[in-house]
Amino acid sequence: MPGGQERVLRRRIKSVQATQKITRAMELIAASQIVRAQSRLAAAAPYQHGLAEVLAEAAADVGAHAGRLLGVPADPRRILVLAMVSDRGLCGGYNTNVLRATERLVRAQAQVETRLVTVGRKAPPYLRFRRIEVDQSFIGFSDRPSFADARQVAEAVVPLFLDGTVDQVLVISTRFLSAGSQVVEQRQLLPLPEPGGAGPGEGENAEVPQPARREGYVEFEPEAEDLLADLVPRYAEAAIFGAMLEAAASEHTARQRAMAAATDNADELVKSLSRVMNRARQDAITTEIMEIVGGAEALRQSAEAQ
Amino acid sequence: MSVPTSVVTPERELVCVEVDAVDLRTAEGEAAFLPGHAPLIGSVVPGLVRLVQPEGAEIRLAVHGGFVHVENDRVQILAPVAELADEIDLERARRAAEVAEARLAELRGSEEGDPELVELRAALRRAQLRIEVAGA
């Protein structure tokens, strides 16, 4: 039946256009969220920087007495891995990249005992499907983490390190290096990085301010060793908060990029479908004209024959 | 003489002003920092922090723990939670204190190690601190 194909195509174009409206809206929303996430990230920097300075001073004073609170454990037997992804999908490879890195890490540590704590709704299904046990997961705040959320996560993680249940805590999350570049990174949360050491840097603190060599110059209240014990949980929760903010900014960036690509693809699809549809319509019109002409011709011939 | 002082929380820098003196409590007791104080790092006991400004005005804050870092004639208070006195919702703090007290009374006699008890005491202390700071 002429026109049938055209109708089918018209319906498909409509549906692509409807999807495009959604992807464009999501793109715009994500773009506005990036700005907000970035400003929250910037607002959190002074606190982390301040704590890093305090840590540097305290660590310099304590020296070798820090025990297992500082440095990189030589032979960790029990590791806790904290993986951070998003609650929602439609953000390109953002979640998969982190989860794949997590899977790789857990599998590589097969000979040591690992525990896994995750942030983001997308983590447990992926990992459980691959028979990786998730000990605890947090959901509901990945796109807009507050400090209270970070504290909640820290409370699930830090005590395990302090009481010796685990020797090392690793974080896998997406670092927000700039608006154009985010990378999945694995770094050590606890023990705290030795300031100035070659250990993995944490957030802004990769360039921890080196305290000038002036031991005994800074007063500590209480003693530096006790202070360090106080500092570890505070520093860890600030570092988790920082990582969550960076992950949120990265999530919005990934979503904006994915949705921009989807919008562009929809544009192209609409264009090529319209072309096919126009040809189908022209074909249908041509066929119809041929039929009319043919019909008229037949009538004329039959009239002439009489 | 004044000293630049800031109170920083994880989510934002709360205040950053020039002050004549900073009054707070550290683990070792009451402390006042005047310009020219020797470098010091201390842990802050939850309590009232007063920033005395040159014109005699003072900024009052409820600081729930954290650290104070005095260095190079600069004072930085790093607190996981801190509130300016004017930003405290007094009504809410009073209600929170009442709720915590009531629940504590109910739990009287239960064993000491109860996590709820610990949590409630902390909540009560927080509420009382807020009332003390905002109520003056």
- The complex's ipTM works out to 0.86
- Domain containing A116 equals 25-259
Alpha-carbon distances, residue A72 vs A168, A230, A244, A303 (angstroms): 8, 19, 23, 103
Looking at the structure, tell me whether residues B60 and B117 fall in a common domain. no
Nearest C-alpha of chain A: how many angstroms from B103?
23
Cross-chain residue pair A54–B41, CB shorter than 8 Å: yes
Looking at the structure, tell me whether residues B11 and B77 fall in a common domain. yes
Using the predicted structure, report yes or no on whether residue A207 has a pLDDT greater than 60: no
- Domain containing B49 equals 3-85
Residue A152, pLDDT score: 92
Residues in B touching A219 (Cβ below 8 Å) = 38-42
Greater pLDDT, B123 or A214? B123
Best probe of the B interface among A219, A225, A228, by most B CBs < 10 A, is: A219
Kindly report the length of chain B: 136
Looking at the structure, tell me whether residues B11 and B49 fall in a common domain. yes
Looking at the structure, tell me whether residues B79 and B41 fall in a common domain. yes
Looking at the structure, tell me whether residues A274 and A245 fall in a common domain. no
Looking at the structure, tell me whether residues B48 and B33 fall in a common domain. yes
Looking at the structure, tell me whether residues A155 and A301 fall in a common domain. no
Looking at the structure, tell me whether residues B11 and B66 fall in a common domain. yes
Strand partners, A186: A172
Looking at the structure, tell me whether residues A295 and A147 fall in a common domain. no
Interface contact B36, partner A, CB < 8 A: no
Greater pLDDT, A281 or A306? A281
Residue A75, pLDDT score: 81
Kindly report the length of chain A: 306
**Distance between CA B76 and CA B60 in Å, rounded?**
15
**Distance between CA A301 and CA A296 in Å, rounded?**
9
Residues in A touching B12 (Cβ below 8 Å) = 43-44
For A75, list phi and psi in degrees, rounded to 5.
-140, 75
Among A47, A227, A231, whose Cβ lies nearest the Cβ of B9? A47
Buried b (16+ CB within 10 A) or exposed e, A82-96: bbbbbbeeebbebbe
In this predicted model, what pLDDT tens digit does every residue of A229-262 receive, in sequence order?
Answer: 888 899 999 999 999 999 999 999 999 999 999 9
Residues in B touching A44 (Cβ below 8 Å) = 10-12
Interface contact A169, partner B, CB < 8 A: no
Interface contact B117, partner A, CB < 8 A: no
pLDDT grade, residue A66 (50/70/90)?
low
Q: Which of B64, B135, B35 is nearest to B94 (CA)?
A: B135
Looking at the structure, tell me whether residues A163 and A89 fall in a common domain. yes
Among A40, A58, A151, whose Cβ lies nearest the Cβ of B41? A58
In this predicted model, what pLDDT tens digit does every residue of A71-117 receive, in sequence order?
Answer: 888 788 899 999 999 999 899 889 999 999 999 998 888 788 899 99
Looking at the structure, tell me whether residues B81 and B39 fall in a common domain. yes
pLDDT grade, residue A199 (50/70/90)?
very low
Looking at the structure, tell me whether residues A182 and A39 fall in a common domain. yes
Looking at the structure, tell me whether residues A131 and A153 fall in a common domain. yes
Looking at the structure, tell me whether residues B65 and B98 fall in a common domain. no
Nearest C-alpha of chain B: how many angstroms from A222?
6
Interface contact B124, partner A, CB < 8 A: no
Q: What is the CATH number of the domain that holds B130?
A: 1.20.5
Looking at the structure, tell me whether residues B104 and B72 fall in a common domain. no
Interface contact A225, partner B, CB < 8 A: no
CA angle A120, A112, A240 (to 5 degrees): 35
Nearest C-alpha of chain B: how many angstroms from A193?
19
For A292, list phi and psi in degrees, rounded to 5.
-65, -50
Looking at the structure, tell me whether residues A118 and A243 fall in a common domain. yes
Greater pLDDT, A213 or A60? A60
Q: What is the CATH number of the domain that holds B35?
A: 2.60.15.10
Nearest C-alpha of chain A: how many angstroms from B36?
14
Cross-chain residue pair A217–B40, CB shorter than 8 Å: no
Structure tokens at A93: 């490879």
Greater pLDDT, A217 or B57? B57
Greater pLDDT, A213 or A245? A245
* Span between the terminal Cα atoms of chain A, in Å: 33
Looking at the structure, tell me whether residues B108 and B79 fall in a common domain. no
Interface contact B56, partner A, CB < 8 A: no
Looking at the structure, tell me whether residues A167 and A279 fall in a common domain. no
Looking at the structure, tell me whether residues A84 and A217 fall in a common domain. yes
Looking at the structure, tell me whether residues A296 and A151 fall in a common domain. no
The whole-number average pLDDT for the span B90-105 is 86
Mean residue pLDDT of chain A comes to 87
Residue A35, pLDDT score: 93
Using the predicted structure, report yes or no on whether residue A211 has a pLDDT greater than 70: no
Nearest C-alpha of chain B: how many angstroms from A279?
59
pLDDT grade, residue A201 (50/70/90)?
very low
* B127 SS3 class: helix
Looking at the structure, tell me whether residues B17 and B70 fall in a common domain. yes
Positions of A marked catalytic? 91
Looking at the structure, tell me whether residues A279 and A179 fall in a common domain. no
The total of structural domains in chain B comes to 2
Best probe of the A interface among B15, B41, B72, B119, by most A CBs < 10 A, is: B41
Interface contact A44, partner B, CB < 8 A: yes
Q: What is the CATH number of the domain that holds A276?
A: 1.10.287
The total of structural domains in chain A comes to 2
pLDDT grade, residue B77 (50/70/90)?
very high
Cross-chain residue pair A46–B66, CB shorter than 8 Å: no
Interface contact B115, partner A, CB < 8 A: no
Looking at the structure, tell me whether residues A99 and A166 fall in a common domain. yes
Looking at the structure, tell me whether residues B21 and B55 fall in a common domain. yes
List CB contacts of A64: < 8 A, sequence separation 6 or more.
none
